[in-house]
Amino acid sequence: MRFDKLLNKDIVAGIGLILFSFWVILEAQEFAAAAKRFRGVSPALFPTMLAVLIILLSGVMILRGLRKGRNWQFTFDFHHKNSFLALGFVVGTALYGLTLEFLGFMPVTTLYALVFIIWMKGANPLKAFIISCIAVGVIYYVFHTLMFVPFPQGEIFSLLLGE
């Protein structure tokens, strides 16, 4: 098999997703060690299940890429609207990850959802804000309250309150 056949975008993306999934599994194991268990179910169960699903789907992508065998040619057309959406999603997700510990889950996730609902769907800001608040509230209730998954509370509030 020639090396250039392995440089298929499906193969590269599949390998990247598998590596990301293994990182998620390693990080999820910290949830299990740090959090209480609810009826024997670890908070690491859901992220681990998603990571395993991504690994399986990535295997399918890799097999499809091996079957196709086209060369990988990366093009990023800045004139296309979807290019800016993809780049904005990557940059926004990176900023989300960097600010999560400092500002906390609730405000950062609400802002993240709000920005992307408005940017990607062009929704009314008030309607987008309500949807963001409800979605984040439901996520927080299900995972934090019912499954005891710890969320970052935000260091800024400790600094402002002098704790």
- Tell me how far apart the alpha carbons of residues 30 and 81 are, in angstroms, rounded to a whole number: 39
pLDDT band at 35 (very low <50, low <70, confident <90, very high): low
- The tens digit of pLDDT for each residue in 104-149 reads 889 999 999 999 888 877 889 999 999 999 999 999 998 888 877 7
Same domain, 58 and 90: no
pLDDT recorded at residue 113: 92
Give the amino acid at 93: T
Sign of CA dihedral 129, 130, 133, 135: negative
Helix (H, G, I), strand (E, B) or coil at 38: strand
Last residue of a domain, one of 26, 55, 73: 73
- Tell me how far apart the alpha carbons of residues 147 and 42 are, in angstroms, rounded to a whole number: 8
Q: How many domains does the chain have?
A: 2
Mean pLDDT of the chain: 80
pLDDT band at 162 (very low <50, low <70, confident <90, very high): low
- Tell me how far apart the alpha carbons of residues 113 and 106 are, in angstroms, rounded to a whole number: 11
- Terminal Cα-to-Cα distance of the chain (whole angstroms): 61
Residue 77 has pLDDT above 70, yes or no: no
The residue among 17 and 81 whose pLDDT is bigger is 17
pLDDT recorded at residue 40: 58
What are the tokens at 20? 């990301």
Last residue of a domain, one of 49, 73, 97: 73
Q: Report the pLDDT averaged over residues 26-49.
A: 70
pLDDT recorded at residue 151: 82
pLDDT recorded at residue 107: 92
Same domain, 66 and 80: no
Q: Are 105 and 140 in contact (CB under 8 A)?
A: yes
What are the φ/ψ torsions at residue 38 (nearest 5 degrees)?
Answer: -110, 105
Last residue of a domain, one of 73, 99, 128: 73
Same domain, 5 and 37: yes
Domain containing 13 equals 1-73
Same domain, 79 and 11: no
Same domain, 96 and 162: yes
How crowded is residue 43: how many other Cβ atoms within 10 Å of its Cβ? Answer: 22
Q: Name the residue among 138, 141, 152, 145 with its Cα closest to residue 38.
A: 145
Q: Report the pLDDT averaged over residues 71-81.
A: 60
